[in-house]
Structure 1
Amino acid sequence: QYHHTINTLKYADRAKEIKTHVKQNQGTVQEHIAEYQRMIDALQDENAGLRAQLQEVGASPVPLSPGPGPSPLGRPALPSENDPAWVEGISAGLNSAAVSRLKQHRAMGAAEEA
């Protein structure tokens, strides 16, 4: 009881020394919106320019989502979720990570109790 009272008084003494300095925001909401709109417009212009350059070269845009078959970038295709060996490998990796994490959690709990 006495210990808590002393700590409370020490905290209150430190809290009295806290000074706040209020400062008004420099920009308004409308200025921020206008700035973001300018950024969006600039990025859209850059995107349009890059698309035009691609069309000049005659290249078609590369799809972002991987589909079946070889990768359009010349890299090997990602393994399929239907491949049992791949699923087993991922499952084993997840299980070992979970076991390792559980051991760490138990060790931390034991260290806190000590």
Structure 2
Amino acid sequence: MTNRIFIGQNGNSYQIRVSKAGYDVTTVTDPTQLAFYETLSGLVPFEQGLVTVASGATVSVTLTGTYTYYPFIVLRNNLNQVPGNWYYARLTLSSKSLTFKNNYSASMVIKYCVFRELDW
């Protein structure tokens, strides 16, 4: 059985590590073989904003960052509706256009937060 989790002291430092499937956490030397480790940077907001979207309307904003992959985006609105059927956002990576659609019966203010890619 492969050792997948390590929490404790390793030499002079304390570590918390979880290896990816098939890798032994006690022998990995390449961080890409780890799902989590103590110096992994967390999600950091890269850009954010507020948009007001009328009921049944669509609003687009252009992101300023450069993204190699689709970034992680968090949405929240002033009506406490969960993203999904009532409202959602769609990113077109090539044009960096983030489009919001409001299917709810009232206008809403949507806050969006775009997180950068993780550094390995």
TM-score (norm 1): 0.23
Structure richer in helix, relative to its length: 1
The one of the two structures with greater contact order (alpha-carbon pairs below 8 A, sep at least 6) is 2
TM-score (norm 2): 0.22
Structure richer in strand, relative to its length: 2
